[in-house]
Copies of this chain bind each other. A is one copy, B any other.
Amino acid sequence: IPHSRTIRCTCIETSTQPVNPKSFKKLEIIPASQSCPRVEIIATMKMNGEKRCLDPESKVIKNLLKAVRKERSKRS
């Protein structure tokens, strides 16, 4: 009988709904590891500090990064 590994993922379910890049104050990307076999992407909302898990496969991340880049070049 193999030892069962303790799995400690932060996200239980992920949201595939679009997230407005202006609505989050932090985006955390946690690569797959021994403690959790999948990549986790956690957005912290500005409004209430709520943390929302996003699907790395969805377009959300791509769009977020694009917006983040755009915002930066706009300001500099």
Residues of A within 8 A of B (CB): 21-22, 24-33, 37-39, 56-57, 61, 64-65, 68-69, 71-72, 75-76
Which residues of B are found within 8 Å of A38, using beta-carbon distances? 72, 75-76
The answer to whether A31 and B71 have CB atoms under 8 Å apart is yes
Known contacts A37-B75, A76-B38: A26-B29 contact under CB 8 Å: yes
19 A–B pairs (Cβ distance < 8 Å), ordered by A: A22-B31, A25-B30, A25-B33, A26-B30, A27-B31, A28-B28, A28-B29, A29-B29, A32-B71, A32-B72, A32-B75, A37-B75, A38-B72, A38-B75, A39-B72, A56-B72, A57-B69, A61-B65, A65-B65
